[in-house]
A and B are shown apart, each in its own frame.
Chain A
Amino acid sequence: MLDPRAIAARVREPKISMKFNTSSKFRFINPSIVRRSSVLSRILLLAPAAFALAFAQPARGDEPPPEPPPSDAKGAKEKEADDHQHEDATVTVRGRVPAPSRGASDFNLRVGELSRVPRQNAADLLKLAPGILLTNKGGDGHAEQVFLRGFDAREGQDIEFTAGGVPINEAGNLHGNGYADLHFIIPELVEGLRVIEGPFDPRQGNFAVAGSAAYDLGLTRRGLTAKYTHGSFATRRMLLLWGPTRESTHTFAGAELFDTDGFGQNRGAKRGSAMGQYEGRLGRNGSWRIGAQAYTSQYKSAGVVRADDVASERIGFYDTYDRRQGGDSSRYSVWGDIETKSGDTLLKQQLFFIMRDMRLRENFTGFLLDVQQAQQNPHVQRGDLLDLHVDSQTLGARGSARWRTKALDQTQELELGYFARADRTASSQHRIDQSGAPYLTETDLDSRLGNIGIYGDAGLRPFSWLTFRGGARGDIFTYDVLDACAQRSVRKPSAANPPGDQSCLSQQDDPATGGVRYREPHDRRGTASIAVMPRGSVLIGPFTGFTASVSLGKGIRSIDPVYINQDLPTPFANVEAGELGVSYARGVGDVELMARSIFFQTHVDRDLIFSETAGRATLANGTTRTGWVGAVRATGPWFDQAANVTFVRSTFDDTHLLVPYVPDVVVRSDTAIHHELPFRADGEKLTGALASGITYVGRRALPFGQRSDEIFTVDASASVAWRMFEVALVATNLLDRRYRLSEFNYASDFRTAQQPTLVPGRHFAAGAPRGLFLTLTATLGGT
């Protein structure tokens, strides 16, 4: 995972004595870290450490070093070593122990030189994994909608996201249970990304339906870095990074300010983000980290436009119907963790606290949903603008103990772990009229959600070429939901106290009298359920670079609190997944090759399908996905090429009709070429780099038998570096293709026809036109 340049720098450090294979990418902790650890840092560590030590045995600190982390192409070699023995790993290095591979769908992605490929944000890094499509109809601060292997994972509902082990999915978020806004992650601070496409690892928890994505935070570019970007749509970005050269890559700080007018109408955005982490040594065989993060943004959103209005030029391709759309988003979090080894047991413990706030204003339907109700005073359609607000706090911890021993001349492993989080979430959704005043309360929930998961994971290796990995996970989910607007309608309202336009009523029908009786408008509901999920993988090989794997697993997605009923079993969405895969990894000279081929099938008993009228995903019937994934990556001394393709067929179980919106063909290519240039300036050679990211998405199935347009985009960058300076020119959508990023078929009425348009029609959110951005970077005192 470490940048080769960083490795070279480490080798030169006098206090580390080692030998290692150049293909190994260990993380190092300089012994001097302990001496440089500030008193403040140690004090800050005490709180999480005290909590952690309550669950973990103290480190004795005299154990051999943990195994190295695998990472993608190079990681394939390491995985090979991991799956066998580590006889030649005789170096004395320290670092975090990665979770073992779960098979061919376990993508441990090293960003490396592919960081030169233009990416808008950290979510774009997901495209390094096969089958990922990102769309965004909600604006620059709205979470990206992620499609993965035939899943419309919405804004994270079906993918478990973590950053440095800290969960990102928001339990109880009204816009989508599991909503995951990744914009707080500064892309330059992502060192690696592990994507498991499927629920095959017992460590995967809630929301790991389509899979999981774990961001590994780190900064390989050491020193002080200042970066300024200016470009199309009045976009400006200022970034500062700090990574002391003598600290590990996991000691860093970064902060950015971003401002843009956005393309077309109503797509402006402003945001600021800061992240920092310190990694220190714990004893002789452990390490600890503490980190903090802050993020706040405000953004506008164009929403969607009707295709028939664009065709008749009633509205422009990049225009908006409602300029009030947009939102605010903030996230603040702190975390701390330790990892140490005691005897044959590796202990991990992490504690985190998150404060999250978001507001979202969206109008998908125009003037459609404000139907006159009998109890209401007569009114015209007042508009469907949604004003959604979520305010949540999350406290949680996770820990594990991993025991290794020798048996049958092989390394055998057993890990026991837990995950716990408590969420307090206040959610409300109102409809806003043309004057900006709320006229209807649709939802007003105050939820307390609990989730405790435990798991056991064994790694049994009867032969050097055969590994059984798997175990089981159990999760309990508890709900305590106060619905402040539970009573919303009455058949025969009181004439003496008519409810009028009130949304939340204090009267209800009285069957005894045939009239009404008083009640408070709120209702409290609580329930709890437990889910048990077996998961396992068999890895066979490698044989001259080949490793075959079979993986099976069950996963769950907890249900939105809005669906909770008192004492009724919590309706989970259960997923069952299986796959057959084969991977190939070899080094050929200086070039490292990796290739994978995977066939998969996944079944979900209760899927989520986006409802434009509700403004969020709603429950649907069971679905099944079947498909194939192919991925290759070749990394050489002057190039890095990754490409992947995914075919998938997603159907409803009852009707066998296609699941709408999910792409059945996704192709992605990331290319980076970097080399010294035949020019010198002041005696120093210049280095240049070219990079491109190419995306093709086939015609997606839409409701009512329709197909979307294809998406084909090319992003490119060119850069020249000299000494501490680098200048880069980035072009997004280089071919300036006018494309529809998201497409939908549903009914809306934006008053562009004489009378309401009430039957489904095509809507879309425009993809960005070509953008050109110039970036200047200066790095002081680093590598």
Chain B
Amino acid sequence: MAKLTTRVVALAVALAGAASACTGTTGSEIVSFEAFASGPADLPPDTATRGLSFTNGSGWSITLTRARLHIGAVYLNRSAPISGGQERQCFLPGIYVAQVTTGMDVDALSPALQRFPAPGSGTADHAVTGEVWLTGGRIDEPEDRRTIADVAGTATRGGESMRFEGTVTIGTNRKNRDVDPARPGAKPLCAERIVSPIATSITPTNGGALVVRVDPRAWFANVDLGELEPVSSESDLRRIPDEAEPPAADNLYRGLRGATGVYRFEWID
């Protein structure tokens, strides 16, 4: 009761509190922002017409003339996954800070900002990781025939040169064949479509802009184009299969899904 008595005495002070009834906040803020995607910022503006030249980890000097990526959605998260490689869940309600839910095709050879069709939204909370969703339909649909990546270019190594092209989809062709019957949902297909965790440090603000930089050079980091077969004996064109074999195709797919070095989030106030 003594404590209660103290509270009653405090009621005099509370007059000020009552007077300020209509003020205050519950914390944080709902924000909306523009969203853009582009190729690396360090590319010359005419890269899309001249091509992007680089040498990959397999010794191939590659000139990319086409590198288009379909981004289904972008999310920023307030928390980072616990290291240790627990099974991947497609999404965890409650961790998201910002979202861009309308997808677009990005020319990854252009450093120019390409606007997403609809603005993003979120809360003014600090994000430490991000996700890029590479999907054309709903993230958990068993099939998706949307072309996620479309690449073409030329490559030389030693005296060998070639043209190459390829597309990547993420549907049943990426379904995990090695299923543990006790844990059939441990590696869901939806997890194949989510690139995460992409480290970042962003606090969205109202009226700002989120930029997703995509570096196509990293897609080819471990792609040994020499593993590819020519489409015909007379042609120097080699097509990258849209499947897990040969390893070059799988490495391109893994390169697309790389959480480090491939995607970068920037915030423009």
> Using a CB–CB distance below 8 Å, which chain A residues touch chain B?
308, 365, 368-369, 371-381, 492-495, 498, 500, 534, 536, 550, 552-554, 576-580, 599-601, 603, 613, 626-628, 647-649, 651, 655, 657-660, 664-665, 698-699, 701-706, 745, 747, 751, 753-762
Contacts and interface: CB of A to CB of B under 8 A. Distances in A.
Interface string B160-201: 000000000000000000001111111011100000000000
A516 B21 CA distance: 56
B1 interface: yes
Contact of A655 (B3, B27, B103): B27
Interface of B: 1, 3-5, 7-8, 10-11, 14-15, 17-22, 24-30, 72-73, 75, 87, 89-94, 96-99, 101-103, 118, 121-124, 133, 135, 138-142, 180-186, 188-190
A550 B11 CA distance: 11
Main DSSP-derived SS at the B contact region: loop
B122 A759 contact: yes
Given A371-B90, A493-B182, A758-B91, A745 B30 contact: yes
B103 A698 contact: no
Given A375-B184, A380-B141, 14 more contacts: A368-B93, A371-B90, A372-B188, A378-B189, A578-B5, A580-B11, A613-B93, A647-B18, A649-B20, A658-B26, A665-B22, A758-B75, A759-B98, A760-B123
B140 A381 contact: yes
A82 B45 CA distance: 89
Given A578-B4, A703-B26, A601 B10 contact: yes
B182 A492 contact: yes
B181 to A, nearest CB: 5
A758 B185 contact: no
B103 A755 contact: yes
Main DSSP-derived SS at the A contact region: loop
Contacts of A758: 75, 91, 93, 96, 99
A754 B183 contact: no
Nearest to B29: A705
Most buried by B among A308, A648, A753, A759: A759
A194 B103 CA distance: 58
A705 B27 contact: yes
A377 B186 CA distance: 9
Most buried by B among A378, A600, A698, A706: A378
B197 to A, nearest CB: 15
A308 B17 CA distance: 34
Nearest to A493: B182
A663 to B, nearest CB: 9
A576 B4 contact: yes
B18 A747 contact: no
Contacts of A599: 11, 14-15, 18
Contacts of A648: 18, 21
Contact of A376 (B1, B3, B122, B185): B185
7 contacts: A368-B93, A375-B185, A378-B184, A492-B182, A649-B18, A756-B139, A758-B91
Most buried by A among B20, B93, B180, B186: B93
B24 A649 contact: yes
Contacts of B26: 657-660, 701-706
Most buried by A among B3, B25, B133, B185: B185
Contacts of A376: 184-185
A374 B186 contact: yes
Contact of A759 (B4, B10, B118, B121): B121
Contacts of B183: 374-375, 493, 498
A754 B87 contact: no
B78 to A, nearest CB: 10
Contacts of B101: 753-757
Nearest to B75: A758
A220 B118 CA distance: 62
Contacts of A377: 184-185
Given A705-B29, A755-B135, A495 B180 contact: yes
B7 A578 contact: yes
Contacts of B98: 759
A745 B27 CA distance: 12
Most buried by B among A577, A657, A754: A754
A456 to B, nearest CB: 15
